[in-house]
Structure 1
Amino acid sequence: MAQNSKQERFFNSKHTSEEYIEMYESNLEYFNQLASSGQVDDLARLMQIKLMKYVVSLRKEGYYTRCLTAIVELEKDLPLLKDNVALYNQYIEVYLFSKGVCLRYLNRYKESNVFFNELLSKFPDNDLYRQWFDSNKTNMRVRKVRTIYYTLMAIGVLLLVAQWVVSASIWIKVVGFWFLSVGALLFFADTLIINFINSRRRRKR
């Protein structure tokens, strides 16, 4: 009971994300006991700490793989709290958003949008969720474009190397330079767009 009170006092008070992470990971045995008890009260306590504090802190600090692992560990327990509608709705929203964000930053855009699409079905007027959803769609389109500029740059390099090795026609050099230049231009434009999108998402994660 003393440990229970200690844990709850810590996680109910204000700390940095790193402090929440360190405290949770240094007391894994206790939290594993909560998870295995099968008691609804213990699961609710676990969700409040592991999801609302630990998972959110991992997400904010950019530990996306660790965060995703923690989220998956909680998935089987969430449905057990459905009887408490208000609590369940709060937890499910944080769960969906956190998983969507983690998958997005792991470049799993299509999977990420499964969760943002579910959020939008529950909260259709939420501009933040709409922005994340649209951002993923943009990244999926950009990923297709990448094949084009990588191919252009590869052809350009091959043509320039061929012209240098065998002293081919000057037109080979011109065409190779053109392919390489267009590919590089698309690459830099793509990089700027993605960095801009990511910077907006980081401010809202």
Structure 2
Amino acid sequence: MALGCVGEVAAGTARRARRALGGVAGAADAVVRTLIEAVLDRVDLDALVSRVDVNLIVERVDVNQVAERLDVDQVADRVDIDAVIARIDLVGLTRDVLNEIDIGRIVRDTGGGMAAETGEAIRLLGRRGDRTVNQLADRLLGRAVRDARAGGERGTGGGKAAAQQAAAGQAAATQQAAAEQAAAAEQATADTQSGRTP
């Protein structure tokens, strides 16, 4: 019986001790919380943060490990693409790009080659047209007609003097037409290079 009484007394003492310790622990927690709040109220956090060497922290960060943990699909799902596009100044961006590349020079460079090719094609067509008109005039006037492909004369002829006169007239007409066509082609080339359309 004495042993039972001793056990009850010990158990009661243990309970009282636990209650007392619990009360002390609660009081200690309250005191610590109050102290921390008082310290934080007096600390200038901006001054404290300004003393932190961010570069040193960044050097210690393992970017590859951060990237491995990053779920790109989840990030992309959260991005509002329409909002991003709405923030972009497309007109200003386009203007800046066009200012950086010289469109006028590109058009002049490419247009110059096209104008030269076009001028040559016009000259060839002009020569063929002159030849055809001269041949038609020779036939109508009964003059000897030269076959441009064969290089020889054909037809009935009207004498040597008439052939020479016809050749001189044809040469003069061809020269005048060629000069006019060359002037027109040069003007077209100049217009293309200056940015105007003929």
**TM-score between the two structures when normalised by the length of structure 1:** 0.30
Greater RCO (Cα-Cα under 8 Å, separation 6 or more): 2
Higher helix fraction (1 or 2):
1
Larger Cα Rg: Structure 1 or Structure 2?
2
**TM-score between the two structures when normalised by the length of structure 2:** 0.30
